[in-house]
Amino acid sequence: MPEPPSIGDPTPGVPGLLVLLSGSGRTLVNLAQAIAQAHLRARIAGVIASRVCAGCDRARELGIQPLVLPGVIPGNDLAQAAGSAGASLIVLAGYLQRVDVPANFAGRVVNIHPALLPSFGGKGMYGDHVHRAVLSAGCKVSGCTVHLVDAEYDRGPIVAQRACEVFDNDTPASLAARVFALECEAYPAAISLLLSGCARVVGQRVLAGAPA
């Protein structure tokens, strides 16, 4: 396996995020801004990209050398990369490959989807494909969903959702912009909840609060 991402000096006591991406890197930047503004107590421990993309450049701008790994990363290799980076959580940020969730990271791989799951999820449903489907279905409400990743696309337990109105004159681009604004709030908040340890999975639900 290639060497793990360059991560610099880890900060003691601050949980690390291993960010996986495939595109623009906007979500990576949003997380970095949330950290800088003290809305999220974490650090970007490393970045893995499924291809050379704009997100790689944005990672470098943050002082992180991304690791490009095409295709599905074997679970053991992903666990090794996360462990080498000192990551507490694996965070998908527009990552378009299926994730082979390592056994020791079950419940610690998180994704954000630009619709209100379980609607408009599944393989191939990402980006504008989702927003076009929402508009074609005549939905009056859309939004974003933060969920834990399991063996099926977009089927893991839901951590958080945010909703917005769908307007009659919406285009995929205008709806996407409004949903992404919600993502910028929802993702750091959900990651904070997961890192705090005050979340537990009950069936397909993630409940806030320590186990009874």
The class level of CATH for 1-106 reads alpha beta
| Tens-place pLDDT, residues 180-191 | 999 999 999 999
Rounded mean pLDDT, 43-58: 97
Angle at 188 between CA 96 and CA 92, to 5 degrees: 15
Q: Over 50: is that where the pLDDT of 4 sits?
A: no
Q: Catalogue the active-site residues.
A: 113
Q: In what order do the strands lie in the sheet with 205-208?
A: 67-68, 43-49, 16-21, 87-93, 109-113, 141-148, 158-165, 205-208, 199-202
**pLDDT for the residue 209:** 65
Q: Over 50: is that where the pLDDT of 2 sits?
A: no
CA 29 to chain centre: 12
- pLDDT greater at residue 105 or residue 211: 105
Q: Over 70: is that where the pLDDT of 210 sits?
A: no
**pLDDT for the residue 197:** 79
Domain boundaries, the chain: 1-106, 112-186
Evaluate whether 7 touches 16 at the Cβ level (below 8 Å).
yes
The class level of CATH for 112-186 reads alpha beta
Contacts of 36 (CB under 8 A, 6+ apart): none
- pLDDT greater at residue 212 or residue 127: 127
| Tens-place pLDDT, residues 145-163 | 999 999 888 999 999 999 9
Whole-number average pLDDT of the chain: 91
What is the H or E stretch that residue 92 is in?
strand 87-93
| Tens-place pLDDT, residues 60-107 | 999 999 999 999 999 999 999 999 999 999 999 999 999 999 999 999
Same fold yes or no, 1-106 and 112-186: yes
The CA distance from 27 to 191, in Å, is 13
- pLDDT greater at residue 17 or residue 204: 17
Evaluate whether 190 touches 40 at the Cβ level (below 8 Å).
no
The CA distance from 197 to 183, in Å, is 21
Rounded mean pLDDT, 163-174: 98
φ, ψ at 82 (rounded to 5°): -65, -40
